[in-house]
Chains A and B, each alone.
Chain A
Amino acid sequence: MTPGDAPTLSDRLTAAAAWPVRVLFQILDKPFRLIQRIGGIKTMPYIFLLPNLAFFGLFVVIPLFINFAFSLTGGTNLYLTDRVYTGTEQYAFLFDCGNYADPTSCREDRFWRGIYNTATFIFFQVTFLVLFSLITALILNRKIRARGFFRAVFFFPVLLSPVVVALIWKWILLRDGILNAALVSMGFDKILFFVSPEWSMFWAIFVSIWANMGFYTLILLAGLQAIPPDLYEAAEMDGTSTERVFRRITLPLLWPNMLVVIVLALIKGVQIFDEVYVLTGGGPGTATQFIVQYIYNTGFTNQVQNFGLASAASVVLGVVLFVLTMMQLAATRRRDNG
């Protein structure tokens, strides 16, 4: 922006948002000067890092260790010092299964139900999420009219809160909702979606794809736009067919981005909770109860708050996420280093 330009609306919004920050900075100026005078410039980086690291320590690092400690203890007390050391008992309880393929044979069948539900969910959700994101990105990358508008259309649900998304769809899917009205008008019977386990799972998957697709589309679109255009020009000169161009140029060059998107979707999928919890409440029965809801229920809503068991399940979830994140780092490195 040159000095002569009139400030745009977003400039003004930024300025308005920056105002309280500026006041805060003024207040903090004095103590920092004092510290610099006493400790010299060498201490300053540590001082600047201190607040953030204190927060990390208090709310991430210490909890990570406590979590592990919790998982080795039993009882219902929240404070660690009041808890009984039980060794690996919680883990043994979680993994006590006659047959791992059959949740009903497990002592803690809700945990395994949660794992199987989550596995089913991410298998379909990630597959179709990536598929539709790819199709949408390809289409938005074409020469279409009002591209900015269409991109915004597919993107905006990303910003909606999971609770809002769930309520929007719940209202559509209710017994007397508009979808059932459409079914009736076409001569079908009403379907009680939230009474059927299969339909509940279907809508859980559908709604989470609806809400998150725009995010992945955006990453893939950026990837598509980074493909050097001269490759396409060369292909055009050779008279290569569109299908072949897609298979030989677009897909291989987009693949690193695809990998990143797939792993990101997996990481988010494993942690699915918000949308589905509001939409189905985990039901009917335990049909859409996922692993995070198992942890939430076990630790916080059940009559007996079993913090030890919830922590043990969190550790299991953490291990899965750790593996996935390693995959993500590898995928990102591969993409960024070409």
Chain B
Amino acid sequence: MADTTADRRSIAALVTARRGRGKLHWTDVFTYAYLVFGVLLMFGPVVWLVLSSFKSPAGLVEFPPTLLPLGQVSVTVEGYDDPLPLFLTTLEDGTQKELAQVRRIGIVSQMVDPENPGETIRVPIDQREPIREFRLATENYVDPLQRFNFTRYLWNSVVVTTLATLVTLLINSMAAYGLSIYEFKGRNAIMLFVIGTLMIPITVILVPVYLVVTQLGMVNSLWAVILPGAATPTGVFLLRQYMLTIPRDLIEAARMDKASEWQIYWRVVMPLAMPAVAVLAIFSIMWRWNEFLWPLIVLNRSEVYTLQVGLNAFQGELDVQWHYILAMTVVTLIPVVLVFAFLQRFITTGIASSGMK
């Protein structure tokens, strides 16, 4: 960011100039109200997702929902093999007592006093309320790892993201190097061609790319997701603009020292272009991790699903198991949150300077 703190202060001082002394102008009130509302609206849904993902299936269907994940307290009572759920029960004489439920028959449940396990008490079910405590249903996270293909999806997503990003970085930086360092016949034509392909999103060529992928025998393999999007015009453009700023003297000096062109690319230009390469790497990771429509088309077998396609398949099932879906959504979200937490500056300046996403 080019602006200095002093500049900012003077703009800010003006824009936030207050009428009258010490009195808040309506714009100040509006600003902070907007920001608070913004935090709630932007963070709230994600917080709600995370809280919900720790609820048991019973807790999830509850209406109105509880804020925190709760689980019913249960006790082991002498004479019963399984732990029994504990209820706060209103007895006939109006007193309240913590009783454990043995079984429920229709609208009556048989309760037992944990301190006096000998006798059972019959209570109408509307006279009792479950006693609950804060409990994280971590099985929502553990079960899918064992029971479904979820680990497979996770692995597929990691493979796709890693390989695709490596291929993208390699071929895009090579092309950018070729376009920025050399004067050669057809350079402008190729540059125009690269800018031209910028304009063609995958949504316009779904069917023919599917045909190409089929011809290459890649349907239902991860390569079908990795390869078609690997040559990104945005990447070439971004890297080329950056490489153009590298002083020519460095390259000439390397040539004098008898470095091969490949060595100049790899040992001189690439290290200097690292900031731009890092931006492209972050973008590529985000694109690939989040990609949906194309994988949805070329991956039709559950073993090759990526996380996004897998999640969509789960939520489309007739009997939607929300407790698993929510947990898996949180897992899908974690890498993105990590990338954002550590590399926020890269991303925001990258977007602000290139105008791409």
A residues in contact (CB < 8 Å) with B:
9-10, 13-14, 17-18, 20-21, 24-25, 28-29, 32-33, 36, 41-42, 44-49, 51-53, 55-56, 58-67, 70, 78-80, 135-136, 139, 141-144, 150-164, 167-172, 176-178, 180-181, 184-185, 210, 215, 218-219, 221-222, 225-227, 229, 232-233, 235-236, 242, 245, 260, 264, 271, 273-274, 277-278, 281, 292, 295-296, 299-300, 307, 310-311, 314-315, 317-318, 321-322, 325, 332
A150-B293 CB under 8 A given contacts A52-B174, A178-B48, A219-B351: no
Pairwise interchain contact A178-B27, C-beta atoms closer than 8 A: no
Chain B 212-237 near chain A by CB (<8 Å), digits 1 or 0: 10100000000000011111010010
> Among residues 1 to 39 in chain B, which have CB atoms less than 8 Å away from a CB atom of chain A?
1-3, 7-17, 27, 31-32, 34-35, 38-39
Contact partner of A151 among B45, B260, B316, B348, CB < 8 A?
Answer: B348
Chain B 114-148 near chain A by CB (<8 Å), digits 1 or 0: 00000000000000000000000000000000000
A-B contacts, 15 of them at CB < 8 A, read A44-B178, A55-B230, A65-B208, A139-B34, A143-B15, A143-B16, A154-B38, A167-B311, A168-B329, A180-B63, A274-B293, A277-B312, A314-B203, A317-B203, A321-B199
Pairwise interchain contact A52-B172, C-beta atoms closer than 8 A: yes
Does residue B333 face the partner (Cβ distance < 8 Å to A)?
Answer: yes
List chain B residues, Cβ under 8 A from A245: 14-15
Please report the C-alpha to C-alpha distance between residue A5 and residue B184 in the assembled complex, in whole angstroms.
Answer: 41
List chain B residues, Cβ under 8 A from A21: 166, 169-170
A78-B211 CB under 8 A given contacts A48-B265, A153-B39, A317-B203: yes
Please report the C-alpha to C-alpha distance between residue A222 and residue B72 in the assembled complex, in whole angstroms.
Answer: 52
List chain B residues, Cβ under 8 A from A180: 63
Pairwise interchain contact B174-A48, C-beta atoms closer than 8 A: yes
List chain A residues, Cβ under 8 A from B266: 25, 29
Pairwise interchain contact A60-B357, C-beta atoms closer than 8 A: no
A59-B227 CB under 8 A given contacts A153-B42, A172-B48, A314-B207: yes
Pairwise interchain contact A135-B206, C-beta atoms closer than 8 A: no
Does residue B80 face the partner (Cβ distance < 8 Å to A)?
Answer: no
A162-B211 CB under 8 A given contacts A48-B174, A143-B9, A154-B38: no
Does residue B61 face the partner (Cβ distance < 8 Å to A)?
Answer: yes
List chain A residues, Cβ under 8 A from B351: 215, 218-219
List chain B residues, Cβ under 8 A from A271: 201, 203
Pairwise interchain contact B340-A59, C-beta atoms closer than 8 A: no
Pairwise interchain contact B205-A314, C-beta atoms closer than 8 A: yes
10 other A-B residue contacts (CB within 8 Å) besides A24-B170, A45-B181, A80-B211: A20-B166, A29-B262, A53-B193, A56-B193, A144-B32, A152-B344, A160-B333, A176-B65, A184-B64, A314-B203
Pairwise interchain contact A52-B175, C-beta atoms closer than 8 A: yes
- In terms of DSSP, what is the predominant structure of the interface of chain A? helix
* Nearest-Cβ distance from residue A271 to partner chain B, whole angstroms: 5
Pairwise interchain contact B204-A67, C-beta atoms closer than 8 A: yes
**Total residue contacts A-B, CB cutoff 8 A:** 311
Q: Closest chain B residue to A70 by CB distance?
A: B207
Contact partner of B203 among A32, A45, A273, CB < 8 A?
Answer: A273
Contact partner of A66 among B7, B171, B208, CB < 8 A?
Answer: B208
Does residue B177 face the partner (Cβ distance < 8 Å to A)?
Answer: yes
List chain A residues, Cβ under 8 A from B253: none
Pairwise interchain contact B274-A159, C-beta atoms closer than 8 A: no
List chain B residues, Cβ under 8 A from A171: 48-49, 52, 322, 326
Contact partner of B227 among A14, A28, A45, A55, CB < 8 A?
Answer: A55
Q: Closest chain B residue to A240 by CB distance?
A: B14
Please report the C-alpha to C-alpha distance between residue A303 and residue B333 in the assembled complex, in whole angstroms.
Answer: 34
Chain B 299-322 near chain A by CB (<8 Å), digits 1 or 0: 000000000100110011000001
